[in-house]
Amino acid sequence: MNILPDMKSPNIAASVPRHIGIIMDGNGRWAQARGLTRSAGHRKGVDAVRRAIRACGELGVETVTLFSFSSENWSRPAGEVNDLMGLLKMFIRRDLADLHKEGVKVCVIGSRTNVPADILPLIEEAEKLTFHNTAQRLVIAFNYGARDEIVRATQKLAAQVAAGELAPSDISVEAIDAALDTSDWSDPELIIRTSGEQRLSNFLLWQAAYSELVFLDVLWPDFDKTHLQAALAEFSARDRRFGGVVVQAAQ
pLDDT recorded at residue 83: 86
18-55 CB burial, b ≥16 within 10 A, e <16: ebbbbbbbbbbbbbeeeeeebbbbbbbbbebbebbbbb
Residue 15: CA count within 13 A, CB half-sphere: 20
Tell me the mean pLDDT in the region 112-132: 93
16-145+188-236: CATH number: 3.40.1180.10
pLDDT recorded at residue 90: 87
**Using one digit for the tens of pLDDT, what is the confidence trace for 159-195?**
999 999 999 999 999 999 999 999 999 999 999 999 9
pLDDT recorded at residue 82: 87
42 is in an annotated binding site: yes
Amino acid at 31: A
9 is in an annotated binding site: no
List Cα–Cα distances, 181 to 20, 158, 165, in angstroms: 16, 16, 20
pLDDT recorded at residue 245: 55
**Using one digit for the tens of pLDDT, what is the confidence trace for 193-244?**
999 999 999 999 999 999 999 999 999 999 999 999 999 999 999 988 777 6
Q: What's the whole-number average pLDDT of the chain? A: 90
25 is in an annotated binding site: yes
**Using one digit for the tens of pLDDT, what is the confidence trace for 54-92?**
999 999 999 999 999 888 888 888 888 888 888 888 888
More confident site: 125 or 246 = 125
pLDDT recorded at residue 248: 58
74 is in an annotated binding site: yes
Residue 250, pLDDT > 90, answer no
- Candidates 2, 6, 11, 73; catalytic one: 73
Active site residue 73: yes
38 is in an annotated binding site: yes
111 is in an annotated binding site: no
- Candidates 2, 11, 25, 133; catalytic one: 25
**Using one digit for the tens of pLDDT, what is the confidence trace for 17-50?**
999 999 999 999 999 999 999 999 999 999 999 9
User: What residues are paired with 137 via a beta bridge?
Assistant: 63, 105
164 is in an annotated binding site: no
pTM: 0.89
Active site residue 202: no
